[in-house]
Amino acid sequence: MIGYRSGQTLFHRLDPRSKLLFQIAFAVVAFAYTTPRGLVALTLVAAVVALAASISVRQTLWSVRFLFPFLLGAPLIASLSVFPLEFTPADAVEPALSSYRIVLIFIVSAAYVRTTPIRDSRAAIQRTIPGKPGALLGVGVSLVFRYLPILRTELLSIRDAEAARLGSERPLRSRIELFTTAAVRRSFAHADRLSLALSTRCFAWNPTLPRLVFTKLDIPILLLSIVFLSLPVVLR
Amino acid sequence: MATQTDSVDLVGDEVTANIARAALFAALMGGFAYVSFPNPLAVGVPVTLQVLGVFLAGIMLGPVWGAVAMILYLAAGAVGAPVFSGGAAGLGFLIGSPTLGYLWSYPIAAAVIGLVVHRGVDIRDYAAVSMPILVGAMVAGTTIIYAIGTIGFAVVQSVSLYEAFLISAVAFIPFEALKIAAAVGIIKSDAIAAA
């Protein structure tokens, strides 16, 4: 699974805001130039990003394996017609290029995930989106990071407990109902304790955030992002 | 650390409680990515609970905080929380994935379900809401999710709407009826009302 790991790669030292902008710029240019030539150029860019963030392409692909049926299925279904039953390979080209484009976008976004700690992401969110909406989004996102492992463990133990009592023999609707009822109760119990704890600890709209600064290292990636974002406009 | 000189601006108790509930609901949505149930009709397509989470967010948290919970879920996944299908993460899911339409539809669907069930933005007792309104709200939510999801799939994968619907929606829709029935059972159960 792709997750944050501390390190000293080039991507670790970039400002999270530059990395977020770059991902969006990369996606924009990938959607604008989904041609063989465009995708070859973007493959080179994605390869440089993978090296600069030292992420494994194989691991990235494994983390999105649940999408493979869609990525492979779309070109297949586009090339088939039922009445009359025909296989037209030419119709599969565009969906196949699109599938490849998706893989490239995932590699670039994995570089962010691997190299950016949640503290920095939270600071980036709150400094980009002003006022209370930004503060709400920032604190909410860091709480999701905090509670996800806890809830995941609890959900899996609810499922095991259900199976141990032969709950897995019940009809699907009843299984889902019992499981989700227990899961929602647990979540709300956590939420009640959390909100009490937050109130007693002076939960504020303006907490002190880690400092974020753009450095010289950010200049190339910011310039490249601007070029990417303007390409579709300038060249049309 | 960045130095701040303005005084502390405390968050009110009611908003604190809502933020905590929304964040925990978002984390619960993420936890649902790790649990799937075997599909009695097609072995390869497991039944997941994400859409049920959208229904419950709209009904239990209301239109505003239900939508906030879904936005927190998407934002946390975008910056690296492993909350998307199979424990994946990354902004790529929101800007390049074939499933992006489904993900972006969650806050909209939760808001619409909340608006219908609570008849406005103020929360009322959802356990007392009549069955037709509950079911109608969830059917509307399901329609929104599959409509936006299918359009997103067609755009990202460069296929027609019909092909997108065939590949991304048909196998999953029958189970939404099951999830609507389960949601009604959960809402009417005393177990949660007592919590």
How does pLDDT run across A199-232, given as a tens digit for each residue?
A: 898 888 888 788 888 999 999 999 999 999 998 8
pLDDT, residue B195, reads 47
**A112–B79 C-beta distance less than 8 A:** yes
The chain A residue lying nearest B60, using CA atoms, is: A184
Q: Given pLDDT bands bounded at 50, 70 and 90, which one contains residue B2?
A: low
**A137–B81 C-beta distance less than 8 A:** no
Residue bearing tokens 């980036």: A124
* Nearest residue, CB atoms, B158 vs list A3, A98, A116: A98
Which comes out higher in pLDDT, residue B129 or B194?
A: B129
- Chain A: give the shortest CA distance to residue B85, in Å: 7
Cβ-based contacts of B27 with chain A (< 8 Å) = 143-144, 147-148, 150-151, 187
Whether A147 has a pLDDT exceeding 80, the answer reads: yes
Asked whether the beta carbons of B117 and B148 are under 8 A apart, the reply is no
Closest CA to B124 of B135, B132, B115, B111: B115
Determine the Cα–Cα distance for residues A104 and A43; give it in Å rounded to an integer: 7
Stretch A155-172: mean pLDDT, rounded?
Answer: 90
* Nearest residue, CB atoms, A77 vs list B4, B68, B167: B167
Stretch B139-165: mean pLDDT, rounded?
Answer: 96
pLDDT, residue A227, reads 93
Could you tell me the residue ranges of all domains in chain A? 11-116+214-234, 128-200
- CB within 8 Å of B20: residues ≥ 6 apart: A143, A191, A192, A194, A195, A198
Cβ-based contacts of A99 with chain B (< 8 Å) = 157
Percentage of residues in chain B having pLDDT higher than 70 = 92
* Nearest residue, CB atoms, B166 vs list A77, A184, A189: A77
The chain A residue lying nearest B21, using CA atoms, is: A191
Stretch A184-191: mean pLDDT, rounded?
Answer: 95
Say if the ipTM goes beyond 0.90.
yes
The chain A residue lying nearest B179, using CA atoms, is: A173
Asked whether the beta carbons of A215 and A13 are under 8 A apart, the reply is yes
Determine the Cα–Cα distance for residues A225 and A203; give it in Å rounded to an integer: 36
Whether A115 has a pLDDT exceeding 90, the answer reads: yes
* Nearest residue, CB atoms, A70 vs list B4, B26, B98: B98
A19-41 confidence digits (pLDDT tens): 999 999 999 999 999 999 999 99
Stretch B180-184: mean pLDDT, rounded?
Answer: 94
pLDDT, residue B194, reads 47
- CB within 8 Å of B16: residues ≥ 6 apart: A195, A198, A199, A203
Work out the number of other CB atoms within 10 angstroms of the CB of residue B193. 11
**B20–A99 C-beta distance less than 8 A:** no
Structure tokens at A180: 């989700």
3-class state of residue B63 by DSSP: helix
Substitution target from A144, A188, A195 for chain B, most B beta carbons within 10 A? A144
pLDDT, residue A218, reads 93
Cβ-based contacts of B55 with chain A (< 8 Å) = none
Element (H, E) at B100: helix B100-118
A65, A66, A71, A74: CA torsion to nearest 10? 160
Whether B44 has a pLDDT exceeding 70, the answer reads: no
Determine the Cα–Cα distance for residues B27 and B94; give it in Å rounded to an integer: 17
**A34–B158 C-beta distance less than 8 A:** yes
**B86–A65 C-beta distance less than 8 A:** yes
* Nearest residue, CB atoms, B182 vs list A74, A101, A180: A180
Which domains, from first to last, does chain B contain?
13-194 (1.10.1760.20)
Q: Given pLDDT bands bounded at 50, 70 and 90, which one contains residue A236?
A: low
- Chain A: give the shortest CA distance to residue B28, in Å: 6
**A20–B91 C-beta distance less than 8 A:** yes
Tell me which amino acid residue A136 is. Answer: L
Which comes out higher in pLDDT, residue A83 or B107?
A: B107
Determine the Cα–Cα distance for residues A230 and A228; give it in Å rounded to an integer: 6
Cβ-based contacts of A93 with chain B (< 8 Å) = none
Closest CA to B37 of A178, A165, A71, A61: A178
Whether B160 has a pLDDT exceeding 90, the answer reads: yes
The chain A residue lying nearest B161, using CA atoms, is: A78
Cβ-based contacts of B179 with chain A (< 8 Å) = 176
Stretch B85-104: mean pLDDT, rounded?
Answer: 94
